[in-house]
Structure 1
């Protein structure tokens, strides 16, 4: 009998581990409890927080028809009754969510005995064709495997995943995006390779890198997050503009308003606010006023 902990009871109220089968043999399908599983470090999704909205179709399918495809796990070094998820993180999370809601569903799992390298190959094979695995998730998994199994060499990793070295290099470049920029990106987990490539090309210039990171800090102070294309535009204002005048723009994801403060050659200041197209929320009003205040303060101090 598997011992039920207080934490497990809180996560899955009304579900007793005593009613779940305790697997004894490997390489076969069993019913196990979601709370017995943890993400394996080599799994592409191990660092991702489960999003019910993005997985609504999967959740509905399991609720109606049950779990069709078992997850793949291996026994954990923590001891009996503990498993590491090699493949099937979303299915595991979906079943756990439905159980927490009181639905009568079961988590099916195939238990296998494999080492880390073989586990990674299985995980990579399952996720290779999935469009819902983001480039950033894939980059984390590839980087993990490259250091452990491929001597840190991109060419060896490329051969293992069946990709050319250029594709591998561009994917891994996602991991080099500075945290300051991730902090103001609207959805870091959905960051595209195209965004990262354009960003890295501009950041290779020390002057542009310094300016971009400074700009990112300003955007963060306004508590804003911008989509990739808009963020690139905001991070790299034209050099001639920066040399000619001091400009402070506020352009929220919701397109609220734009504030532009210009210092003219005769040292007079010109403050313009783009006409508002909608009523502002409290958060937007605060951001707008802070932008104006920051622009004026900087101009008066210079």
Structure 2
């Protein structure tokens, strides 16, 4: 794709169609409709690169009512299908196409462009992202698809959609969430900001449900996740300490006596009727000193 086209993508679909509010019914678009061609509505097919999975029915009905009253004032951006030259694939404007079907239009205005799959996916994502029509997860999945299928880097994506690289990185991190948390984001019960605050939480699923139930703010969610993390660390330290059994005074005294005798740290562990005596030394000289000390001890007289 040329640099000019990439710059146009960064400005959004308006740069391709010459209009700033492409998705709205606008009388200023009438000249553009006259310049486009009209095709039977059944010749159009949905965009296979469409990142949006959910279309708001209330908004779709409002657009249908507008089309019934005023006609379709905005053309739909399409490209010819390679396997059927008489059919077109929608690149941008699928919501208008759906509304036109509900309004029972027989023909719709289109603008035909030649473009490869990569550009078609880019435009589909740009159109929805800049109009904020996508859910956070749909946006994230669209970015990931561009990276997987067309080897985009995060810098490429930032340039294409006109967002910062940190925004791209934060959106992609949402894909690391458990499925149950993703469902809460997709359903609008928690925001992308809430979800990002839970990314490194020990039990993000339980916390996400609590956040949704209590209606916590993003800042409150961050504090909650931090509190849970600190509590888990404290419990882990306490468990580690409690695992070491307390030795009785006689055992500790015996360890002290042996340590004084040998000049090294001694540890005694009992196992049933027996046990283990551990002498810690750092050098061979220390070990030689232990042997000398033992040899100097008086031996019991044998009878």
* Kept after mapping to 2: 8 A contact 1:135/1:191: no
- 1:133-170, Cα deviation, whole Å (9 max, x unpaired): 33333222222222333x35212322333322111111
Q: Distance in 2 between matches of 1:115 and 1:197?
A: 34
Could you say what secondary structure the match of 1:69 adopts?
coil
Residue in 2 that maps onto 1:117: 118
Residue in 2 that maps onto 1:63: 68
Q: Which of 75, 86, 99 matches 1:94?
A: 99
Moved more, 166-175 or 31-40: 31-40
* Kept after mapping to 2: 8 A contact 1:136/1:190: no
Residue in 1 that maps onto 2:131: 130
Residue in 1 that maps onto 2:37: 29
- 1:151-199, Cα deviation, whole Å (9 max, x unpaired): 352123223333221111112223222212234x274368633122112
Would you say 1:52 and 2:60 are equivalent positions? Answer: no
Q: Distance in 2 between matches of 1:132 and 1:156?
A: 21
Cα pair distance change 1:181/1:137, threshold 3 Å: closer
* Kept after mapping to 1: 8 A contact 2:64/2:99: yes
Cα pair distance change 1:189/1:111, threshold 3 Å: farther
Q: Which has the larger radius of gyration?
A: 2
* Unaligned ranges ≥5, structure 2: 1-34, 236-303
User: In angstroms, what is the RMSD of aligned CA positions?
Assistant: 3.8
Could you say what secondary structure the match of 1:170 adopts?
helix
TM score, norm. by length of structure 1: 0.52
Could you say what secondary structure the match of 2:115 adopts?
coil
Residue in 2 that maps onto 1:197: 196
Residue in 2 that maps onto 1:156: 156
User: 1:31 offset after TM fit, Å?
Assistant: 2.2
Aligned length: 194
- 1:24-57, Cα deviation, whole Å (9 max, x unpaired): xxx942223247412232x332xx1323213333
